[in-house]
Amino acid sequence: MLRSICLSCLFVIASALLANAEGDEPSTSILFSWYPTEEACNSNMAEPVSLDLLLKAPDDYRDKCVRTEGFYTAGALFMRERDLGRKYPSHNEESAKRRLAVYAEQGRMDELSRAQGKLVELVGLVSNCDSLWSENTIMVMGYCHYTGGPIIGLAPRQ
Protein backbone atom coordinates (compact mmCIF):
# COMPACT_ATOMS: atom_id res chain seq x y z
CA MET A 1 0.00 0.00 0.00
CA LEU A 2 2.67 2.50 1.05
CA ARG A 3 4.78 1.52 -1.95
CA SER A 4 1.94 2.27 -4.38
CA ILE A 5 1.30 5.65 -2.70
CA CYS A 6 5.01 6.53 -2.98
CA LEU A 7 5.08 5.46 -6.63
CA SER A 8 1.98 7.55 -7.36
CA CYS A 9 3.58 10.59 -5.71
CA LEU A 10 6.77 10.10 -7.70
CA PHE A 11 4.77 9.84 -10.93
CA VAL A 12 2.95 13.13 -10.24
CA ILE A 13 6.18 14.89 -9.29
CA ALA A 14 8.03 13.55 -12.33
CA SER A 15 5.17 14.59 -14.62
CA ALA A 16 5.19 18.15 -13.27
CA LEU A 17 8.97 18.42 -13.56
CA LEU A 18 8.99 16.93 -17.06
CA ALA A 19 6.34 19.40 -18.20
CA ASN A 20 8.47 22.26 -16.86
CA ALA A 21 11.57 20.90 -18.57
CA GLU A 22 9.78 20.74 -21.91
CA GLY A 23 8.47 24.30 -21.54
CA ASP A 24 4.84 23.23 -21.34
CA GLU A 25 2.46 24.74 -18.84
CA PRO A 26 2.05 21.99 -16.21
CA SER A 27 -1.41 21.19 -14.99
CA THR A 28 -0.01 20.76 -11.49
CA SER A 29 2.94 22.26 -9.68
CA ILE A 30 5.11 21.87 -6.62
CA LEU A 31 6.06 25.13 -4.92
CA PHE A 32 9.66 25.15 -3.71
CA SER A 33 10.09 28.84 -2.92
CA TRP A 34 8.22 32.13 -2.79
CA TYR A 35 9.54 35.67 -2.79
CA PRO A 36 8.55 39.10 -4.16
CA THR A 37 10.03 41.01 -7.06
CA GLU A 38 12.34 43.92 -6.29
CA GLU A 39 9.58 46.29 -7.42
CA ALA A 40 7.13 44.80 -4.91
CA CYS A 41 9.53 44.88 -1.96
CA ASN A 42 13.02 46.17 -1.33
CA SER A 43 15.00 47.66 1.55
CA ASN A 44 14.23 51.24 0.45
CA MET A 45 10.46 50.79 0.81
CA ALA A 46 10.38 48.42 3.79
CA GLU A 47 8.44 49.57 6.85
CA PRO A 48 10.23 48.75 10.13
CA VAL A 49 8.01 46.47 12.23
CA SER A 50 8.88 44.53 15.36
CA LEU A 51 8.46 40.79 15.02
CA ASP A 52 6.27 40.85 18.12
CA LEU A 53 3.84 43.31 16.52
CA LEU A 54 3.89 41.50 13.19
CA LEU A 55 3.03 38.17 14.85
CA LYS A 56 0.26 39.69 16.99
CA ALA A 57 -1.54 41.03 13.91
CA PRO A 58 -0.15 39.33 10.78
CA ASP A 59 -3.22 40.19 8.68
CA ASP A 60 -2.53 43.91 9.28
CA TYR A 61 0.79 43.46 7.44
CA ARG A 62 -0.31 41.06 4.72
CA ASP A 63 1.03 42.13 1.30
CA LYS A 64 3.19 44.80 2.94
CA CYS A 65 6.94 45.15 2.60
CA VAL A 66 8.52 45.10 6.07
CA ARG A 67 11.87 45.08 7.84
CA THR A 68 11.96 42.95 10.97
CA GLU A 69 14.43 41.01 13.07
CA GLY A 70 14.48 37.85 15.08
CA PHE A 71 16.42 34.67 15.76
CA TYR A 72 16.63 32.38 12.73
CA THR A 73 16.54 28.61 12.67
CA ALA A 74 14.99 25.85 10.55
CA GLY A 75 13.18 28.09 8.07
CA ALA A 76 11.62 30.43 10.61
CA LEU A 77 12.26 33.63 12.51
CA PHE A 78 11.63 33.58 16.26
CA MET A 79 10.99 36.39 18.73
CA ARG A 80 13.17 34.97 21.50
CA GLU A 81 16.41 33.08 21.48
CA ARG A 82 15.05 30.62 24.04
CA ASP A 83 12.41 29.48 21.50
CA LEU A 84 15.21 27.94 19.43
CA GLY A 85 15.90 25.37 22.14
CA ARG A 86 12.43 23.85 22.05
CA LYS A 87 11.94 20.48 20.38
CA TYR A 88 11.03 20.97 16.70
CA PRO A 89 10.84 24.78 17.03
CA SER A 90 9.55 25.34 13.49
CA HIS A 91 6.71 22.87 13.85
CA ASN A 92 5.58 22.62 17.46
CA GLU A 93 2.33 24.23 18.58
CA GLU A 94 4.01 25.76 21.63
CA SER A 95 6.01 28.16 19.41
CA ALA A 96 3.32 28.80 16.78
CA LYS A 97 2.51 32.35 17.88
CA ARG A 98 6.20 33.25 18.22
CA ARG A 99 7.54 32.39 14.76
CA LEU A 100 7.40 33.68 11.20
CA ALA A 101 8.11 31.32 8.32
CA VAL A 102 10.83 32.44 5.91
CA TYR A 103 10.77 31.82 2.15
CA ALA A 104 13.31 33.05 -0.41
CA GLU A 105 15.17 31.98 -3.50
CA GLN A 106 17.50 29.05 -2.76
CA GLY A 107 20.71 31.10 -2.56
CA ARG A 108 19.22 33.32 0.15
CA MET A 109 18.00 30.28 2.09
CA ASP A 110 21.54 28.83 1.90
CA GLU A 111 22.91 32.10 3.32
CA LEU A 112 20.39 32.00 6.15
CA SER A 113 21.30 28.42 7.01
CA ARG A 114 24.73 29.76 8.00
CA ALA A 115 22.99 32.12 10.45
CA GLN A 116 21.31 29.35 12.46
CA GLY A 117 20.58 30.59 15.98
CA LYS A 118 21.65 34.17 15.28
CA LEU A 119 19.78 37.44 15.39
CA VAL A 120 19.11 38.53 11.79
CA GLU A 121 17.34 41.42 10.11
CA LEU A 122 15.12 40.50 7.17
CA VAL A 123 13.29 42.53 4.53
CA GLY A 124 10.38 40.94 2.75
CA LEU A 125 6.72 40.74 1.83
CA VAL A 126 4.34 39.38 4.48
CA SER A 127 1.74 36.75 3.61
CA ASN A 128 0.59 33.39 4.99
CA CYS A 129 0.96 29.73 4.14
CA ASP A 130 -2.56 29.49 2.72
CA SER A 131 -1.68 32.04 0.02
CA LEU A 132 0.94 29.69 -1.44
CA TRP A 133 -1.71 27.26 -2.62
CA SER A 134 -3.51 27.61 -5.94
CA GLU A 135 -5.81 25.30 -7.87
CA ASN A 136 -2.75 23.82 -9.61
CA THR A 137 -0.53 23.40 -6.54
CA ILE A 138 -0.20 19.81 -5.44
CA MET A 139 2.48 20.38 -2.81
CA VAL A 140 4.17 23.25 -0.96
CA MET A 141 7.68 22.50 0.22
CA GLY A 142 9.53 24.05 3.14
CA TYR A 143 7.97 25.41 6.30
CA CYS A 144 4.39 25.49 4.97
CA HIS A 145 4.56 21.80 4.00
CA TYR A 146 3.93 20.88 7.65
CA THR A 147 2.84 24.10 9.30
CA GLY A 148 0.57 27.06 8.65
CA GLY A 149 0.65 30.69 9.69
CA PRO A 150 2.35 33.91 8.68
CA ILE A 151 5.32 33.97 6.31
CA ILE A 152 7.78 36.46 4.90
CA GLY A 153 9.08 36.16 1.36
CA LEU A 154 12.52 37.76 1.36
CA ALA A 155 13.14 40.66 -0.99
CA PRO A 156 15.90 40.16 -3.57
CA ARG A 157 19.32 41.52 -2.61
CA GLN A 158 20.02 44.97 -4.00
* 53 and 100 inside one domain: yes
Q: Which residue has the higher pLDDT, 130 or 93?
A: 130
* 46 and 56 inside one domain: yes
Name the domain count of the chain. 2
Phi, psi of 120 (to 5 degrees): -130, 155
Question: What pLDDT is stored for residue 24 in this prediction?
Answer: 55
Question: What pLDDT is stored for residue 157 in this prediction?
Answer: 84
Rounded mean pLDDT of 110-128?
94
* 6 and 60 inside one domain: no
Rounded mean pLDDT of 89-114?
81
- Residue 141: pLDDT over 80: yes
Rounded mean pLDDT of 73-79?
89
Phi, psi of 83 (to 5 degrees): -65, -25
Q: Tell me how far apart the alpha carbons of residues 50 and 89 are, in angstroms, rounded to a whole number.
A: 20
- Residue 83: pLDDT over 80: no
